[in-house]
Structure 1
Amino acid sequence: MLRTARLGVGIIGAGRVGPVIGAALAGAGHALTGITAGSDRDRVEAVLPGVPVLAADEILRRSELVVIAVPTEQLEGLVGGLAEVGAWQPGQLVVHTDAAFGTGVLAPAAARGAIPLAIHPAIAFTGTSMDLRQLTNAFAAVTAPGPVLPIAQALAVELGCEPIVVAEEDRAAYAEAIATATAFSRSIVGQAAGLLARAGIPEPGLYLSSLVHSTVDHALAEAGGATGEVPPVDQ
């Protein structure tokens, strides 16, 4: 199994994803240097108790690995802004978790010597410790320059995921697939639950649970048969 050395890890982004990624890496033996402020400090504290809240540039100064988990529309500006103030360090690992981008969005950091990596765990994050269990049954899309691809794969393994390499030019199609599966699933379940509620069925979400899970399992099995078997998760 690929492994990385013990690293000082800083998290930029205190939404649903960043704290969970931090907790998973801490569980793999890395040391957390800090996390940026978020609107729900109680939730973050529940996942990462005692981790210092720091400004983004201070996190870069203290960390060997920086994880960026911010909304898609903020990622490019954040990376570029930190480059403009000279915050990125040569040899520093920088990982973003956005499905929509490969490593191109990290070019301003790479131009200053940072090592760009893209890792997207394919789960629906809740921002709670429950996500740590989800990660152990998940795949993660990894994109990185060839010489450092093993580092991205090792970090995905340390999150608990099975790494799957996605080429830079394929990230847009990958992101579309993820968005389609997520939005369609939520929409259809929501519509069905609404119809059941109008039909007088109590707790429609609970009523649908077994049906939806078994239907999705069958659909996934059929998808695997159509395109080649999905490899098992090796834990």
Structure 2
Amino acid sequence: MTLARDTKIGIIGLGRLGAASAEVFQRSGYELVAVSARSDVSRRRAEKCIPNIPILCPQEVAERADCIILTVPDDAISAVSDEIVAAGAIVAGDLVVHLSGRCGLDVLGSARMVSAIPLACHPAMTFAGTDEDANLLASSPFGITSLPEHKHYAEGFVQAIGGNPVWIPDEKRTMYHAAMVFGANNLISLVATSIQAMKAAGIDDAGRFLAPILRASLENAIVLGPKALTGPVRRGDVGTVVGHIKALREEMPGLITGYVDFARFTAEMALNEELNAPEILHKVLATLRHVNTSEQGD
């Protein structure tokens, strides 16, 4: 079952995800009746991505729509839901959908109280504010949560734009989102730091230089998991690890803590997965503990 073709779509919040959602639903043949965009940046985004669509207050958007999509920050979802429900803008049978990864159905409790249908449908994708965002959204897997009797609505919402719905129990959404942060947000931080360090080593076009090994590493990690681990920590090359820390201390001391923490995490993973002899990996861990002690002594 997909979302009924005559469903009227309204979007409250027009950040990167809201704008991508608006584009995708329009492209999929749904009527986008209005959006809410409070900041100047959001209004300019609306004018660029979805010209001729009314920009209204949240209450007016909800009054016009049968499916109200909330793409506001996580901490604002409950307040916005309460606001439009209190205004009488939500009626029984309306779909009220938030796209947060962390939040479940509790934040839509007020909508449920008026017999609306609360859904949590999070796209497992990152959006950089480029012209590709809508295409990325349309092909994303979605972590969906609903009441059991509403599961077909959540699946239909996602399938309407070409996404792939994957069920997430309500009580597991925070863990699901934490996993997403580990794999996506932290990955960007790590790659950006690697590029920064590579530039310090004298490679000007560091992003292009690193691209092949980064892509190969990511693909290996997805396919092989921990068995894809390579490098001096897994091999137990203590001298190399110590040399890295010395170089960082001389040129980029702010990276030492991160390097040591990730090296320890890698060594412990290699130990748990039996990727090298325990005595070798314990020697690496002892070296890393000594680094921490030395840093504290400084």
Correspondence for 2:169: 167
Answer 1 or 2: which has greater helix percent.
2
CA offset digits 1:50-103 (Å, max 9, x no partner): 211011000011000000001111112111222222221111111100001122
Secondary structure, in 3 states, of the residue corresponding to 1:17?
A: helix
**Superposition pairs of residues 149-228 of structure 1, within 5 angstroms:** 149-223=151-225
**Superposition pairs of residues 50-61 of structure 1, within 5 angstroms:** 50-61=52-63
CA offset digits 1:117-153 (Å, max 9, x no partner): 1100100012333012223442110111112211111
Correspondence for 2:68: 66
Amino acid at match of 1:16: R
Q: 1:105 to 1:132 in 2, by over 3 A?
A: same
CA offset digits 1:166-195 (Å, max 9, x no partner): 011111111111122223201210110011
Amino acid at match of 1:24: V
TM-score normalized with structure 1 length: 0.89
Deviation, structure 1 residue 14: 0.9
Deviation, structure 1 residue 35: 0.8
Deviation, structure 1 residue 49: 2.1
Q: 1:224 to 1:105 in 2, by over 3 A?
A: farther
Amino acid at match of 1:201: I
**Superposition pairs of residues 1-150 of structure 1, within 5 angstroms:** 2-6=1-5, 7-37=7-37, 38-40=39-41, 41-150=43-152
Mean Cα deviation higher: 51-60 or 198-207: 198-207
Structure 1: unaligned runs, 5 residues or longer: 226-235
Task: State the superposition RMSD in angstroms.
Answer: 1.8
In 2, are the aligned partners of 1:10 and 1:33 still within 8 Å (CA)? yes
Tell me the percent identity: 28
TM-score normalized with structure 2 length: 0.71
Mean Cα deviation higher: 197-206 or 114-123: 197-206
Structure 2: unaligned runs, 5 residues or longer: 228-298
> Could you tell me how far apart the structure 1 residues matched to 2:205 and 2:138 are?
30
Deviation, structure 1 residue 45: 2.3
> Could you tell me how far apart the structure 1 residues matched to 2:11 and 2:107 are?
17
Amino acid at match of 1:183: N
Deviation, structure 1 residue 202: 1.7
> Could you tell me how far apart the structure 2 residues matched to 1:53 and 1:31 are?
14
> Could you tell me how far apart the structure 2 residues matched to 1:26 and 1:140 are?
19
Q: 1:147 to 1:223 in 2, by over 3 A?
A: farther
Amino acid at match of 1:192: S
Secondary structure, in 3 states, of the residue corresponding to 1:152?
A: helix
In 1, are the aligned partners of 2:67 and 2:94 still within 8 Å (CA)? yes
Deviation, structure 1 residue 112: 1.1
In 2, are the aligned partners of 1:118 and 1:144 still within 8 Å (CA)? yes
Q: 1:48 to 1:102 in 2, by over 3 A?
A: same
Amino acid at match of 2:119: L
Amino acid at match of 2:69: V
Secondary structure, in 3 states, of the residue corresponding to 1:213?
A: helix
More relative contact order in 1 or in 2 (CA 8 Å, sep 6+)?
1
Say how many residue pairs are matched: 224
